[in-house]
Each structure stands twice: as structure tokens, then as C-alpha cells.
């Protein structure tokens, strides 16, 4: 049960990260450089295959100039 919830959060947040990143015209590689991670890691965050720590979520929200709340809103509204 916990694993399913964790996966749902990761997928939902990842979709929002990708949507915002693309709306800003940033590539996964560019976001990765800002965050200090590879493009592949950004892709794993966006697909939900890699869980995002709170610290990383804050770094991503700062890089995308969006609140953490906006990145997690879809998941919160789903529940």
C-alpha cells in the first residue's frame, strides 16, 4: 500500500515537473545542469521511476521558479 502511494506521488509530481519544464522551454539536459544531475536523472524524476527527496523537490521548484505546492497539487487534489 505504501509503495503504491509513493509511486503515485512520484508519477504525479514528475508529470508536473515535465509540464512546467517544457512550458519554460527548458530541455531535460538544461534542467539537469541547473540541478547538478544528468539528463537521465531528470527523466527518471519526470517519469516517476526515481523518488524525489524533499531537498531535490525544493531545488527543482526553485529552478523552475514555481512553488512546491504547484508541483504537488495534482496529487493532493487526486486524494
Residues 6 or more apart whose Cβ sits within 8 Å of residue 21: 28, 31, 42, 46, 64
pLDDT value of position 73: 81
At 36-76, the pLDDT tens digits run 999 999 999 999 999 999 999 999 999 999 999 999 986 65
Its pTM surpasses 0.75: yes
> Contact at 8 Å (CB) between 20 and 71?
yes
pLDDT greater than 50 at residue 2? no
* CATH number, residue 14: 1.10.260.40
Q: Number of structural domains, the chain?
A: 1
Task: Determine the average pLDDT of the residues in 1-28.
Answer: 85
What is the extent of the structural domain holding 10?
2-78
Q: Band of the pLDDT at 6, cuts 50, 70, 90?
A: low
Task: Determine the average pLDDT of the residues in 10-29.
Answer: 96
Amino acid at each position: 500500500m505504501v509503495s503504491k502511494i509513493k509511486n503515485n506521488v512520484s508519477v504525479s509530481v514528475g508529470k508536473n515537473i515535465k509540464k512546467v519544464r517544457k512550458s519554460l522551454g527548458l530541455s531535460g539536459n538544461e534542467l539537469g545542469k541547473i540541478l547538478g544531475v544528468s539528463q537521465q536523472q531528470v527523466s527518471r524524476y519526470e517519469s516517476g521511476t526515481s523518488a524525489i527527496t524533499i531537498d531535490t523537490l525544493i531545488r527543482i521548484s526553485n529552478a523552475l521558479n514555481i512553488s512546491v505546492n504547484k508541483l504537488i497539487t495534482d496529487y493532493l487534489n487526486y486524494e
